[in-house]
Amino acid sequence: MNLTLKIWRQKGPKDKGSMVDYKVSDISEHMSFLEMMDVLNEQLINEGKEPVAFDHDCREGICGSCSMFINGEAHGPDRGVTTCQLHMRMFKDGDVITIEPFRAKAFPVIKDLVVDRSSFDRIQHAGGYISVNTSGNTQDANAIPISKHAADEAMDAATCIGCGACVASCKNASAMLFVGAKVSQYALLPQGRIEAVDRVKNMVAQMDLEGFGNCTNTGACEVECPKGISLENIARMNREYLFANIKD
């Protein structure tokens, strides 16, 4: 395939960026999207030009770092995949592909397609954990009975990889699906109930502090989430937050 790529280029956080056109040829439909980007960067290096900066790590849909906004969609036109799992067979010869970083006030651009998602880390630090006695008298987790339904729902919430597609796809740049998933994975388990009140209040407060918007109720986040995190997690977080404030 021969393609035209319109890519956002920005030298640094304080520099003005712009879309730059590139041509790539002989792209195999069996390539992943990132492999196509590798071909482009090799071409740019051979021409003595600056390669396009983009995040990537595992290239297996696990780490969530390879986030790109492709043709107006987080992670591109396919569903249930991250950018590294997107294959070029989703495009046709002669296509024009627009590639941008995830856009959100809380995700400032570092360079080109790389954004700073440390805001997610700070939300996690605010309450996305359980306090465990490590004195040697810890209770075996398997000794606590948990229903199959609760365990399955907690596991579904825990599959969130924190890529930020929910934020990028939301017109309010809301992180409520991410926070809802992180709150839910603990709220559904007995180990997480002990600190449930403080957890949801602290995580929501940090989310607001980071500058994320409120939920739009349009459901774009669930549609474009590569792990299919359900909107039910936002509803659960809202219930947990209401209960926490009533309890106080």
CATH of domain 117-247: 1.10.1060.10
Give the three-state DSSP class for 18.
strand
On the question of pLDDT at 136 being above 80, the answer is no
Give the three-state DSSP class for 19.
strand
Nearest to 85 by CA among 116, 110, 111, 56: 56
CB 166 within 8 A of CB 177: yes
Whether the model pTM is above 0.85: yes
pLDDT digits (tens, 9 = 90+) for 151-195: 999 999 999 999 999 999 999 999 999 999 999 999 999 989 999
In the chain, DSSP assigns E strands to 3-9, 18-24, 69-70, 73-74, 96-100, 109-111, 114-115
Q: Where are the domains of the chain?
A: 3-111, 117-247
- Given the structure tokens 């630090």, which residue do they identify? 125
Q: How many angstroms separate the CA atoms of 113 and 98, rounded?
A: 12
Looking at 3.40.640.10, 1.10.3720.10, 3.10.20.30, 3.40.50.2300, the CATH number of the domain 3-111 comes to: 3.10.20.30
Phi/psi of residue 78, nearest 5 degrees: -80, 170
Task: Give percent of the chain above pLDDT 90.
Answer: 92
